[in-house]
Structure 1
């Protein structure tokens, strides 16, 4: 856990994976006061909020467990674990009890953020936590995995990254994922999701799932003979969050600065175990939890990067349209509003629309990691969501 303090609002930032580190990737690669080279970041979110980074679930980043059965296997456990931390946080730092508190998330962190937000709002209502919970923001979030997978083919086809044959291949693979989900075979669905990603890679010459316009040589990850799908998916989605330069920073200067990390614990050392333990829960949707939050009056914001494939905007819009929230019809009737890119006045950087306690931001020229791709736009969005702009 790492806190950077600013007076007016506070925000908990959750990363994805599961197994992605908030104190590492979220902090030094995206929104913290310093970048990976320990140079000041001009678009740090600490300009607008006190930011709390948590390595979550247990086993992520510097957090660890010495007992194999203590890893979380579902978002319900993740939420109850986080509530223990938040109770302690607001008890030990009572000055934050009266400051608006937001949860911002990315990727699988959004799925966890939804569950955590519901647990937190219920705890506040019961009086077991003192907190001025002001809302949750779900960035490129794995809320409805199937809607993401089912739109990969159409999205890639319309962006000229699949031909007719490739579209058929990807659609057929995605359909098998759908069948497994419908049969409630969620571990099998996760394996078939992995196979679908391989089909995508084969037909797109190794498209980058996190930004379709950015392709590095090491993005092409051919599966090794005999490699199980958990290891393959860890290489695809966990290893990019633990690049060598970041690992050297976290296990070197940062570890030394913290001076509390046990000698046998390595930053990111249990990340793959975090991922594998959550595999059976991976393809389960949490759209119903978002509905519960909206119906309870919690402020919910969805934001997504235009160039993201793994959680493409088409899929996000599909699950939003499935909401049972009574304000959905009025929300869909709204026209979106363009936003100038703060880094290029006169150039559109995003669109957004809101109705009552729900909002949606379409962030242009950004992939899965919006703060990394469009830092100024992400910072402006933060200010708008927290009502500072």
Structure 2
């Protein structure tokens, strides 16, 4: 069944709480639609064409952006809070990625954002289902939008989206090789990604301790909690490991006076779990995890925007679908998959000569850079020693800047970016550097 496409150039009038009407700036060329990926599940996508006055969109790559969670909406959060043309106030974003690429946002897994299921049994429960659904969407997309078949295509991701991106990238590579999907697949970028959960968890204690957010007693408690998770992982008790993961986060919150898991220098905690009492059932850890890692991205302001003006603009969202309304079910159904690693998938990508980029924010706790470095050391890639032997190079956000904004190391088809002064959401925290990184990864002059 072909995807429906709805091009639009100008945003409709928006009513503000003050009662005044404003007309936001002219938007770039767009298209959006649904793809039925299974008989009882439909996935929503939203495409923005590159918007550069000097060049046509065909001069720029196409980026697929995958949000985390699982259950967080790329069409909402990634678009309006990170890299899209407008922010959540519908004001132009100075560092939008549309300056250097066309961007395809997809709400995945099914049930995320505007995507939906008609049967509770249709939610994805593992990476395999997530990947197969995305292959259906990408096959339909490139068949419908033939102008993108020869343009370099990259997958960029964030958080749990990186775990999904690695698996999707491998399947896409195979599909392109087999000729079942026509596109110019050029690489995958894994941002603050949940590639190896246990390596992130083990790094929590040392990272917090070295940044003076844990004392000796706190370090011991967090380390003990991490060892319990590791033990469950070694026994392949993945759901138990997820429950223990939630409890470890409770221990961190208690010892750090509520550190923000997404940026340790941001004092106001964005978690909602503190309102929950400890007397509730043992299923609570899953609810807490959802609130910590998905629900906060569905902030009231963004939710009002997506379920109000944006819904009216798109015109195709079914009446029974509320943006983000199924996200808790998306998260809960993936609970058994949370703690599984995909290091071997990254190895396969490197062996297949797919370009792999890893980038991470210096201030990220949930996926600390120490943890990313740890799983990279576990790669079986034959060229890893040569990659490790490279000296990293400092990067500056712009030619005029004298302040180091990042470090970069590269060898053959593996790149690593250490993004300074950024938390989990790198483009939101360091927009200029994120845009420069995009240009480096996609081989544009910068």
Say yes or no: TM over 0.5. Answer: yes
- Tell me how far 1:39 sits from its aligned partner: 0.5
Question: Residue 301 of structure 1 aligns with which residue?
Answer: 357
Question: Residue 118 of structure 1 aligns with which residue?
Answer: 170
Q: Deviations over 1:87-123 (max 9, x none)?
A: 0000001111100000000000000000000010001
1:347 is paired with a residue whose SS is: coil
Size of the aligned set, in residue pairs, is 389
- Tell me how far 1:200 sits from its aligned partner: 0.5
TM-score if structure 2 supplies the norm length? Answer: 0.86
Q: Which of 34, 49, 53 lines up with 1:5 in the alignment?
A: 49
Matched, 1:339 2:390: no
Any gaps of 5 or more consecutive residues in structure 1?
A: none
Question: Residue 331 of structure 2 aligns with which residue?
Answer: 275
1:109 is paired with a residue whose SS is: helix
Q: Deviations over 1:230-283 (max 9, x none)?
A: 111111111111000000000000000111111111000000100000000000
- Which structure has more helix as a fraction of its residues? 1
Q: Deviations over 1:39-73 (max 9, x none)?
A: 00000001100100000000000001010111100
Q: How does 1:64-213 map to 2 (within 5 A)?
A: 64-213=116-265
Q: Which of 373, 378, 384 lines up with 1:317 in the alignment?
A: 373
Question: 1:332 and 1:217, CA in 2 relative to 1: closer, same or farther beyond 3 A?
Answer: closer
Distance 1:379 1:86 in 2: 24
Matched, 1:248 2:304: yes
1:119 is paired with a residue whose SS is: helix
1:366 is paired with a residue whose SS is: coil
Preserved contact between residue 23 and residue 53 of structure 1 (Cα < 8 Å): yes
Preserved contact between residue 207 and residue 219 of structure 1 (Cα < 8 Å): no
- Flag the structure with larger Rg: 2
Any gaps of 5 or more consecutive residues in structure 2?
A: 1-44, 51-56
Q: Deviations over 1:121-178 (max 9, x none)?
A: 0011111011100000000000000000001000000000000000000000010000
Question: 1:314 and 1:160, CA in 2 relative to 1: closer, same or farther beyond 3 A?
Answer: same
Question: 1:343 and 1:32, CA in 2 relative to 1: closer, same or farther beyond 3 A?
Answer: farther
1:226 is paired with a residue whose SS is: coil
Question: 1:234 and 1:220, CA in 2 relative to 1: closer, same or farther beyond 3 A?
Answer: closer
Question: Residue 233 of structure 1 aligns with which residue?
Answer: 289
1:348 is paired with a residue whose SS is: coil
Aligned residues: CA RMSD: 1.0
TM-score if structure 1 supplies the norm length? Answer: 0.99
- Tell me how far 1:76 sits from its aligned partner: 1.0
1:169 is paired with a residue whose SS is: helix
Matched, 1:37 2:93: no
Preserved contact between residue 272 and residue 292 of structure 2 (Cα < 8 Å): no
Distance 1:357 1:314 in 2: 21
